[in-house]
Amino acid sequence: MKEYDVIVVGSGHAGVESALALARLNNSTLLTTLNLDSISFLACNPSIGGTAKGQLVSEIDALGGEMGKVSDRNILQLRLLNTGKGVAVQSLRAQVDKHAYHSDMKSVLENQKNLDIMQCEVVEILACDGKVKGIKTAFGEEILAKAVVVCTGVYLESKIIIGEYTKDQGPNGFVNSHGLSSSLRDLGFDILRFKTGTPARVLKSSIDYSKFECQKGDDGIQTFSFLTKKQPKNVAVCYLGYTNEKTHQIIRNNLDRAPMFSGMIKGVGPRYCPSIEDKVVRFADKTRHQIFLEPEDKYGNEIYVQGFSSSMPRDVQEEMYKSVDGFENVKILRNAYAIEYDCISSLDLLPTLESKKVQNLFFAGQINGTSGYEEAAAQGLIAGINANNKLKNKEPLILRRDQAYIGVLIDDLVTKGTNEPYRMMTSRAEYRLLLRQDNADIRLTQIGRDVGLVDDYRYKKFCNKLKKIDKVYKILSQKLRASDVRNLLQQKQESTQILPQTARELLKRNSVSIFDIDQKFNLFKGIDKNILKYVETEIKYEGYLKRQEILINQMKKNEEIKLNQDFDYSKIKGLRLEARQKLNLHKPLTLGQASRISGVSPADISVLTVYLSLNKRKSKRS
């Protein structure tokens, strides 16, 4: 009978990050997949990143993950979103070649030491005395392991829906998984039913692009990976268009045939990524909705129509799409569809992503109720690291909400849970000014090094960057000639009554950028512009950052107060009934986690704090 240190079930974005992390940390690892052709496949949109998601990709990269590097190698177009807004909400988004991305990641896996890949269907998680012991495949083969990471994505008992037509299968026509949901249910997990969807793919040559607005990429900007040396070229363009009143009327006329409204779809869909029929009903006052035309690969002719997902019947889809200006002669190559699938309640997980019900059984990705490639990959990396640490009796890696978007994501899942596919957004992060796209390596590379995933090359490059940043700060402390400063401020139409003495003081002026200073005084020869931009942001937002640090220090105090996992909160009389029930259900690890549970009020936390304080005094006396 075969035996591994760890088995990873599923080869989507969560599975590959988990398997790579485990293998690189010297664990004998098996990665199972329903189909080798579905490894890291971009089954929905052909893009990586987006608002808050771009930060996740760079955080994965800083910790030693793979997604950022593979994305950078296969970029068709790269953009920095929200440049008209503050730096806290600016994020990278890339169109990538979906077929090249899959092949690239598959090659990385195939060449990874300590990693085996097997095409098979896992139908059962084997456990004994509350501890995982391996898996069973559809072939009847049992494979043992000390730990198992489940990363099954949207494949559990999945079903695609196009109008009245349904079929038991996974996304993009891949086979789905049968039996594993029942196995998880037998182990005591709550099984939820979620739904997501994808738009049609249309023939490139059948589109009249003159009726769409061209959107080009940005040159010379930061990439996802801090190891990428060569700036990716923008070899493709995207286009912006709109639905119209005619489109909306077609949808309204056919709502009786829409699975979303006929009762055929039972799963809960994502609120922040609705289908076009849902948009038309929910936002009845809107006369148009945006759609984006995005290439799926470098040489193919399939165009992804973002913003136009649907589960309408084929004939209605044909009519809807052709009603859009520029789509009069459009040819649909692959129809839009909805997909329903099973997932677990993320409240059944610890902050390490280990199950509360079965020891050494970890979960990552869309099986935890999330949506998106980036959220999945982030969870996969953390689950892999923590499975390794658990087996080797090391401290778990639990990122705080002030350290990373990954910390926000996992804390939200295990503390608050989710009743719909969870999507990462900048608004979910209290400290998003600290969690920027540009400083992910500053925040997390040392953590990745301590874990063991940041190699010598990356770490040396990181240390050199820190030295250059320190050099820039020292240069900015230099005093400047008053006449030159006055001349620059006059050009910027700024007041010259009180002149800044140092370059740093000058940089605090809103109208003056670090590049203005460099151009005027020639101070930063040979220093990368991304480093200059980082320092500029830190200085210009210095006051706001200090305020956030004060709040973070207050939060840390609550995070340091550990709570007994066996304690019965019904014994605390001052707590409201709802708080007692929620605390007993969730069993939070810390007072900070308890404060974020829905239904536990600040007053309840005050009562709990007093109770803990009194108990501590009693313990000291005794």
Domain containing 519: what range? 478-546
For residues 92 and 130, membership in a common domain is answered with yes
Q: Which residue has the higher pLDDT, 154 or 559?
A: 154
What pLDDT does residue 553 have? Answer: 87
Chain centroid to CA 215: 24
Please write the tens of the pLDDT for every residue from 412-460. 999 999 999 999 999 999 999 999 999 999 999 999 999 999 999 999 9
Say if residue 188 is in the same domain as residue 212: no
Whether residue 308 sits in one domain with residue 359: no
How many whole angstroms separate alpha carbon 134 and alpha carbon 5?
10
The answer to the question of residue 78 being in a domain is yes
7 lies in the same domain as 149:
yes
Counting the structural domains of the chain, the total is 4
Q: Which of 404-418, 470-484, 530-544, 562-576 has the lowest mean pLDDT?
A: 562-576
* Same domain membership, residue 603 and residue 534: no
Structure confidence at residue 622 (pLDDT): 63
Average pLDDT over residues 324-337: 97
Q: Are residues 395 and 409 in the same domain?
A: yes
> pLDDT band at 55, cuts 50/70/90?
very high
Among residues 546, 578, 597, the one where a domain terminates is 546
Signed CA dihedral, 42, 44, 45, 46: sign only:
positive
pLDDT of residue 10: 98
**Does 432 lie in the same domain as 348?**
yes
- Which residue blocks in 368-513 are alpha helix, DSSP H? 373-391, 405-411, 440-451, 456-476, 482-491, 503-507
pLDDT at position 376, please? Answer: 98
In a domain, 205, yes or no: yes
Contacts of the segment 506-509: beta carbons below 8 A, 24+ positions apart: 506/480, 507/476, 507/536, 507/539, 507/540, 508/539, 508/540, 508/542
Examine the domain organization and report whether 290 and 361 are in the same domain. no
> Is pLDDT above 80 for 176?
yes
Above pLDDT 90, what percent of the chain? 79
Q: What is the pLDDT of residue 234?
A: 96
Q: What is the CATH number of the domain that holds 252?
A: 2.40.30.260
- Residues 504, 612 within the same domain: no
In a domain? residue 84: yes
Last residue of a domain, one of 340, 355, 373: 340
> Is 229 found in the same domain as 177?
no
Residue 104 host element (H or E)? helix 98-110
List the end-to-end C-alpha distance of the chain, in Å, as a whole number.
54
Residues 294 and 241: beta-carbon distance below 8 Å: no
pLDDT for res 566: 84
Domain finish residue from 340, 370, 398? 340
Q: In what order do the strands lie in the sheet with 213-215?
A: 213-215, 238-242, 290-295, 302-306, 201-203, 332-334
Task: Scan for tokens 């996802």, then name that residue.
Answer: 224
